[in-house]
Structure 1
Amino acid sequence: MSTVRRRVGATATAVALVPVFAGVAEAAAPVETASVVADWNAVAVSTLTGDTAKVVPENVMYLGFVHAAIYDAVVGLRPRYEPYRRHGHAPRGASATAAAAAAGHKILETYSPYAQGALDQALAASLAKVPDGAAKRAGIAYGERVARDLIAERAHDGRNAPVQFTRAQAPGVWRPTPPANLPMAVPWLGRVKPLLARSAAQFEPPAPPALTSRRYTRDFAEVKAMGSATSTARTAVQTATARFFSGNVFVQVNAALRDQAAKRGLGIADSARMFAATAMTTADVAILTWRSKLVRAYWRPITAIQLAGTDGNPATTADPAWTPLIVTPNYPDYVSGYNTVIAASTRALEHVVGPRLDLTLTSTAVPGEVRHYRGGASLRADVVDARIWLGIHFRTADTAARTLGIDLADWVARHYFQPRR
């Protein structure tokens, strides 16, 4: 269950937690600033959300690049965990703090050059915490090397390829939705090479329900009644939950992760691992989600309900005036992106820190609204319901998304970010 409160003034004091991997000491010299990882997460989120050339699904992917570089830069110098990629000899005694900042800076200036001035200022602020000298210089050089290696590796990964949504309009097939009737956003994302998964098809969700199936009929009736802008079936509590999860999931999740790093007092290597495991898993789940959207091309509730007379299902009734609680995003229904991001990030977090998350989320759509979750399962359940109550997804698109995110995160945990032997 979650608890809801309105933030007024200062945030409540967090309950102290036993640090993860307590008793395993990190290298003592040079002294590192563990918060550099969370600092560059905040810089990255701000930079990417401010990039008018990118939309949220792209931001999720690019943040994975940022934290891959930061992780490899840190564990190359503080080798507690297996690296994502190997980058040759790491200079002994170099500052991991400087390396993390330099790696994050290099990735962001490459993919969001519009923010060069702000990024340079953020780098200077991070490096000011590191004493001048050989360790600092070596850390900067190593972090930049790691970032350049990863940039080169991603040079021909399918980003911005000329992929178009070309499916002809038909019952069950997605089409641009009112009021803007925009084309599908970033269809190329479904063809990008994942960072961790073997391919974008590795965890392909099953086919969505046939339009004449009992499951589709149930999903249709539920979202029609509960997701309408004028619903009388949806309670005030359900509406509040729906609106809480109607904003920018990218900003919401990463703010919660920064809070986790601070609450748990993570050292620099553990912090780099936590952010990399969550960000890179979430980057992959965005790619896998977009592949499903592109391949399945399933229509949204607004189209299905307004055009129910064409679906061949006698148990569904059309309502040409039906509209959802919020505007429908401009991409297909199956599977839900918000749900895959929440499922993948929380499951990855559970693998890193354990099942008791003590997770605090702030809504980006309802000012001042905060919810607290003790574990990932209750959060994931709320998000499944919320996207139906918003009127923008069928239940099957949400539950299949949750399964996709969990399955991917479980697989990643078995193959990446392992302690070094």
Structure 2
Amino acid sequence: MTRARTARRQGAAAAALLVLTVTPTAAAAHPPAEPPGDPGVVLSWNAIAWRTIGVEGEKPPPVAQLYLGMVSTAVYDAVVTAEDGGGASDVAAATAAHDVLVHWFPASRAALDADYDAWLGGVPDDEVRRNGQQVGADAAAALVAARADDGRDAPITLHRPEEPPAGMWVPTGTGEMQAPWLGFTEPLFVDSPEEFATDGPDPLESDEYAADLAEVAAMGSATSASRSAEQTDLALFWSDNPVRQYQDAMRERAVRQQMDIADTVRMFAAVNTAGADALITCWRVKYDTPFWRPVTGIQQADRDGNPATTADPAWTSLRPAPPYPDNPSGHGCVSSAVAETLEELYGRGQVDMEIRSNVTNTTRTYDDEETWLDEVTDARIWLGFHFRDAMDDSREIGRGVADAVVEDGFRPTVR
């Protein structure tokens, strides 16, 4: 429940964004060696990290973001140390990423070893390389040790009474709450999962709740007559996995902007740390105030005690909702953290992200955070996944976490 609420938009978007169709490229199985200090190794190992975590490891988006944050932190620490005279920074980066991934994803060790050995084979075997390997190994070991008892995979479940009261989340056909332990995990940077927590959803009897329910009932229905074809396309664009989308887009941005290795590792570390901590915060609020999804609220509106709502037992959303409570939006938390971090790093109107959706096979280009997040907000409502209040709360969380991460951890230095 936030004071500043985004505007409801049921008409066409005020300004169309550039939409391009591109062909996705797969990460090379054996990335070639780059010149010392070249950022290409960071991009290659980010792609390998996603393959290991999200594809082979089958981690769901919020959990994948946490692991990407940890890998990116180790790589950042390794490169910073190496750049200060500790050895080859590219070797340090590859070693740190490899060692962290092997530790937590031992089933992928053969592929990771093959990637690492193939890349390292193109680097001269000298003292600089060996020093870089040691720096990377030390950074990985320090990260793994620091996260040894961080709460991951703790046996936590979301309990519900036998007859849940109106407003309480219940599974909507896609399973019990996914990764409830995430909200109790030690954040990567912020002090606690509750530091930037919001105060939960609007009361069921409030005018705000009734307005939100009416909006999603009209715009998020599988058979909506109010949602235009363009709005449906935008909704489907943002039904893809945002964690993978943002990793892909950051790699493309780094190449296009010709970022050096220090700036590249800073971007990935800052963005992925903020994304991870925003989702940890998000999951804690979801757990503490498990609010029902629109599909439940609309079908059971006769139970909410609000005279301004009307039940529609046959209502269904455009797509099935993910298996966790409504408020705040997980997609909104990670998206706002990513967008705000990029604007903090590069300036307002300079996020410069070309984001591809494998659902619609299109790419959207965003220069400013506000346009990006406004579209994510509308899209998740138009999918029938969220009440607007859940999107507004998620933006508050993501921005708060991102500000703290960049201001106190990854602010660019003047060279």
TM-score, with length taken from structure 1: 0.89
Q: 1:411 to 1:240 in 2, by over 3 A?
A: same
The answer for the alignment partner of 1:41 in structure 2 is 46
Query: CA contact under 8 A between 2:200 and 2:328: conserved in structure 1?
Result: no
Cα distance in 1 for partners of 2:41, 2:376 equals 31
Partner residue of 2:210 out of 199, 204, 217:
217
Per the TM alignment, residue 177 of structure 1 is displaced from its structure 2 partner at its CA by: 0.6
Cα distance in 1 for partners of 2:188, 2:196 equals 14
| Local SS of the residue matching 1:50 | helix
The answer for the alignment partner of 1:98 in structure 2 is 91
The answer for the alignment partner of 1:258 in structure 2 is 251
Q: Does 1:362 align with 2:376?
A: no
The answer for the alignment partner of 1:385 in structure 2 is 378
| Local SS of the residue matching 1:362 | strand
- Whichever residue aligns with residue 357 of structure 1, its letter is V
The answer for the alignment partner of 1:54 in structure 2 is 59
Q: Does 1:279 align with 2:279?
A: no
Partner residue of 1:7 out of 5, 11, 21:
21
1:1-49 per-residue CA deviation (whole Å, 9 max, x = no partner) reads 55243425699xxxxxxxxxxxxxxxxxx93221111111111111111
Query: CA contact under 8 A between 2:54 and 2:64: conserved in structure 1?
Result: yes
Aligned residues: 388
1:312-331 per-residue CA deviation (whole Å, 9 max, x = no partner) reads 11111111111000011100
Per the TM alignment, residue 418 of structure 1 is displaced from its structure 2 partner at its CA by: 3.6
The answer for the alignment partner of 1:21 in structure 2 is none
The answer for the alignment partner of 2:239 in structure 1 is 246
Cα distance in 2 for partners of 1:197, 1:406 equals 13
Q: Structure 1 stretch 326-335 or stretch 131-140: which is displaced more? A: 131-140
Matches within 5 A, 1:18-33: 31-33=36-38
Per the TM alignment, residue 419 of structure 1 is displaced from its structure 2 partner at its CA by: 5.1
Query: CA contact under 8 A between 1:248 and 1:365: conserved in structure 2?
Result: no
Q: Does 1:316 align with 2:309?
A: yes
Query: CA contact under 8 A between 1:2 and 1:379: conserved in structure 2?
Result: no
| Local SS of the residue matching 2:410 | coil
Query: CA contact under 8 A between 2:345 and 2:411: conserved in structure 1?
Result: no
The answer for the alignment partner of 2:171 in structure 1 is 176
Cα distance in 2 for partners of 1:211, 1:9 equals 45
Q: Structure 1 stretch 66-75 or stretch 131-140: which is displaced more? A: 131-140
TM-score, with length taken from structure 2: 0.90
Query: CA contact under 8 A between 2:190 and 2:277: conserved in structure 1?
Result: yes
The answer for the alignment partner of 1:71 in structure 2 is 76
Partner residue of 2:143 out of 136, 139, 150:
150
Per the TM alignment, residue 52 of structure 1 is displaced from its structure 2 partner at its CA by: 4.6
Q: 1:2 to 1:199 in 2, by over 3 A?
A: farther
The answer for the alignment partner of 1:88 in structure 2 is none
The answer for the alignment partner of 1:108 in structure 2 is 101
Query: CA contact under 8 A between 2:298 and 2:310: conserved in structure 1?
Result: yes
Partner residue of 1:398 out of 381, 391, 407:
391
Q: 1:203 to 1:188 in 2, by over 3 A?
A: same
Partner residue of 2:189 out of 186, 192, 196:
196
Q: Does 1:332 align with 2:337?
A: no
Query: CA contact under 8 A between 2:200 and 2:285: conserved in structure 1?
Result: no
Cα distance in 2 for partners of 1:381, 1:46 equals 30
Cα distance in 2 for partners of 1:382, 1:5 equals 13
Query: CA contact under 8 A between 2:36 and 2:89: conserved in structure 1?
Result: no
Q: Does 1:138 align with 2:109?
A: no
1:58-110 per-residue CA deviation (whole Å, 9 max, x = no partner) reads 1000000000000000001214xxxxxxxxxxxx4511111100000011111
Query: CA contact under 8 A between 2:273 and 2:405: conserved in structure 1?
Result: no
Cα distance in 1 for partners of 2:183, 2:379 equals 25
| Local SS of the residue matching 2:386 | coil
RMSD of aligned C-alpha atoms?
A: 1.7
Q: 1:9 to 1:43 in 2, by over 3 A?
A: closer
Per the TM alignment, residue 364 of structure 1 is displaced from its structure 2 partner at its CA by: 2.6
Q: Structure 1 stretch 124-133 or stretch 61-70: which is displaced more? A: 124-133
1:136-177 per-residue CA deviation (whole Å, 9 max, x = no partner) reads 111112101110111011000111111110132110000111
- Whichever residue aligns with residue 390 of structure 2, its letter is A
Q: Structure 1 stretch 69-78 or stretch 369-378: which is displaced more? A: 369-378
Partner residue of 1:347 out of 340, 344, 347:
340
Q: 1:370 to 1:8 in 2, by over 3 A?
A: closer
Cα distance in 2 for partners of 1:297, 1:414 equals 31
Q: 1:9 to 1:73 in 2, by over 3 A?
A: closer
- Whichever residue aligns with residue 80 of structure 2, its letter is V
Query: CA contact under 8 A between 1:167 and 1:297: conserved in structure 2?
Result: no
Q: 1:347 to 1:129 in 2, by over 3 A?
A: farther
- Whichever residue aligns with residue 326 of structure 2, its letter is D
Cα distance in 1 for partners of 2:410, 2:210 equals 43
Cα distance in 2 for partners of 1:124, 1:351 equals 37
